[in-house]
Chain A
């Protein structure tokens, strides 16, 4: 059995016995800075814009999204926050889908995917999306444009704070994705092109 063979080779090479305990690893390096909400929002907006994505602070997210998707087809996730903002009910928006195949069909043809986000990271302009009944994976992936509507309280300082809050994301979800800007490549002649496979247009609305 390759498993036993490989583990045996490893142990022999390292001079370890099966089941031999290990010393503690170096402590995880987690430093969470103290940053005010205003500063976090400002940083988030600045960093998202630096990634050639749109970022706005808005107390009327419904209005923003309505004009953004005017004349387009959109799929929205089942995030309660979207319903609270009145976005789920906008004309042209399909939402409430729980069937995998139906969702995939819609996402493959929709112009815009609308989601909330579980967290955001201010120092890098990152959205943190956990797969759940409220957030499907494909909505922020298949359509060529993605709008994320995020309540400001969810903006964390950065990775350290994220992993401090979620030391074990696997307990919560099979998929946690950190999204930092629109899809891009520079594979041909190092020329930057956006929207290769994922959405080329990203908008973040901080509420």
Chain B
């Protein structure tokens, strides 16, 4: 059963350069996180996780209430909330607004939600220039690639690849010094910021009691995106809402520490509405696009609903031994790593990439580091069970089902189990490279078969 996932992960596994890049980048982020959530650095860490989980649970369990409260407060501060079912509605809204305001140039700060719906592609299709301003995302946009990691999008690229991309796309002399590459991007993008008609951002949190969006970043591009142009549109999934500004005292302590090992990201912006009458600068118009795009499909299942608690820190990616080998591009959707493995089947259907729930050793490291305590391993197991139930309904994978039926039968007939073992031991490991034994042998040796089983030895004791 070779799927796209198998193919892509194989290609990553055999690429020594990629292996090194992924492993060292995630190692750094993993180690830094451990330092800043240690009991010396953050004695309250476990309590904060429990609190964050409780707040998210309460909010998601009452999501309609908090979205309406958020909407009222956005309006109260002079902004407007726009609900969108999917990417088409998001781009329709932006295009309509751009037309009404004669806008041509858009600057964008990092938003996984807009990547979900390919917003840039849709806008470009209609002749709007939409420029990514986060350095990693900018490079990817020029290279026409997808992000490799939630927090470190260009993790897989070397400075030489960046040099190639800049040389080709910006028509500049080749530059391989990273500081100079950054300075080049800074100057190119600065012009865009100052000329842009619309700034589109994501939002890490939507604060219901304030009608505010919270945007967390290190570069300053989100601040510029949301300050320089006259129009600010924040695009966020409906699950991003939290009840109170005061809850940020919990979430902000967890997010940056979990993501990059910083105590706080360089810039945390708390934005509500367009600039007030007496303020000197800031946008004149403020919109928040609340996107469903399948999130409501995750709500009915109480066990799996917690998938929506995610605050997109990326800690699960950095700690996952599977992600650290196969990287972000092995995953079929914008979300990769453990969170991607549980979101993708729920958003796109189990058959979109059937391998995903199974491509895990269930080591549990992800659940251990998740700041909002999503029980990712449990959801993976539920998705596996869901997959088998669907297989049974669709008459797929019958051989394996049969094999496990036989397994269950054998395991409820101890004498036959014992006899099967005895026969197996006398025959020895079968030769050949097919099936599970062949798969095992492709990577490691088999243990020698013992002369007797434990129960035989026990009887002779």
- In this complex, the member of A6, A11, A47, A132 whose beta carbon has the largest number of chain B beta carbons within 10 angstroms is A6
Whether A87 sits at the interface, judged by CB under 8 Å, is: no
Please determine whether B270 and A197 come into contact, CB atoms closer than 8 angstroms.
no
Please determine whether B267 and A178 come into contact, CB atoms closer than 8 angstroms.
yes
The interface-forming segment of A61-69, A110-118, A147-155, A160-168 is A160-168
Whether A83 sits at the interface, judged by CB under 8 Å, is: no
Whether B275 sits at the interface, judged by CB under 8 Å, is: yes
Please determine whether A169 and B270 come into contact, CB atoms closer than 8 angstroms.
yes
Whether B337 sits at the interface, judged by CB under 8 Å, is: no
Whole-angstrom CA separation of A169 from B213 in the bound complex: 12
Question: Which residues on the A side are within 8 Å of B227 (C-beta)?
Answer: 137-138, 141, 175
Question: Which residues on the A side are within 8 Å of B299 (C-beta)?
Answer: 9-10, 13-14
Please determine whether A104 and B194 come into contact, CB atoms closer than 8 angstroms.
yes
Please determine whether B280 and A188 come into contact, CB atoms closer than 8 angstroms.
no
- Tell which of A14, A175, A184 touches B266, judged by Cβ atoms closer than 8 Å: A184
Whether B209 sits at the interface, judged by CB under 8 Å, is: yes
Whether B247 sits at the interface, judged by CB under 8 Å, is: yes
Whole-angstrom CA separation of A97 from B200 in the bound complex: 27
Whether B210 sits at the interface, judged by CB under 8 Å, is: yes
Whether A38 sits at the interface, judged by CB under 8 Å, is: no
Whole-angstrom CA separation of A173 from B278 in the bound complex: 10
Whether B62 sits at the interface, judged by CB under 8 Å, is: yes
B172-207 vs A, CB cutoff 8 Å, 1 = contact: the mask equals 000000110110011001100110000000000001
Taking the closest CB of chain A, its distance from the CB of B231, in whole angstroms, is 14
Nearest B residue (CB) for A199: B220
Please determine whether A126 and B264 come into contact, CB atoms closer than 8 angstroms.
yes
Whether B154 sits at the interface, judged by CB under 8 Å, is: yes
B223-265 vs A, CB cutoff 8 Å, 1 = contact: the mask equals 1100110000000001000011111111011000000001111
B67-107 vs A, CB cutoff 8 Å, 1 = contact: the mask equals 11000010001000001110001000000000000000000
Question: How many B residues touch A, CB cutoff 8 Å?
Answer: 98
Nearest B residue (CB) for A4: B83
Please determine whether A174 and B276 come into contact, CB atoms closer than 8 angstroms.
yes
With A14-B61, A108-B194, A187-B153 as contacts: A196 and B221 at CB distance below 8 Å: yes
How many pairs, one residue from A and one from B, have CB atoms within 8 Å of each other in the complex? 259
Question: How many A residues touch B, CB cutoff 8 Å?
Answer: 75
Taking the closest CB of chain B, its distance from the CB of A4, in whole angstroms, is 8
Whether A179 sits at the interface, judged by CB under 8 Å, is: yes
Please determine whether B280 and A100 come into contact, CB atoms closer than 8 angstroms.
yes
The interface-forming segment of B130-138, B345-353, B390-398, B439-447 is B130-138
Whole-angstrom CA separation of A123 from B41 in the bound complex: 11
Whole-angstrom CA separation of A111 from B220 in the bound complex: 17
Please determine whether B280 and A197 come into contact, CB atoms closer than 8 angstroms.
no
Given contacts A177-B270, A188-B159, 18 further A-B contacts (CB under 8 A): A6-B83, A14-B62, A25-B59, A28-B249, A141-B223, A159-B253, A163-B249, A167-B246, A170-B211, A177-B269, A178-B267, A179-B266, A184-B219, A190-B152, A196-B219, A196-B220, A197-B190, A197-B223
Q: Which residues of B contact A (CB under 8 A)?
A: 21, 24-25, 28, 44, 47-48, 51, 54-55, 58-59, 61-65, 67-68, 73, 77, 83-85, 89, 133-136, 139, 152-155, 157-159, 162, 178-179, 181-182, 185-186, 189-190, 193-194, 207, 209-212, 218-221, 223-224, 227-228, 238, 243-250, 252-253, 262-276, 278-282, 286, 290, 292, 296, 299-300
Q: Which residues of A contact B (CB under 8 A)?
A: 2-3, 5-7, 9-11, 13-14, 16, 18, 20, 22-23, 25-26, 28-31, 47, 97-100, 103-104, 108, 123-124, 126, 131-133, 136-138, 141-142, 159-160, 162-164, 166-170, 173-191, 193, 195-199
Q: List 10 A-B contacts (CB under 8 A).
A: A6-B238, A10-B64, A16-B65, A25-B58, A163-B249, A169-B210, A169-B245, A178-B270, A183-B218, A197-B186
Query: What 9 pairs between A and B have smallest CB-CB spacing?
Result: A198-B220, A13-B299, A187-B136, A197-B220, A170-B210, A170-B272, A28-B246, A136-B280, A178-B268
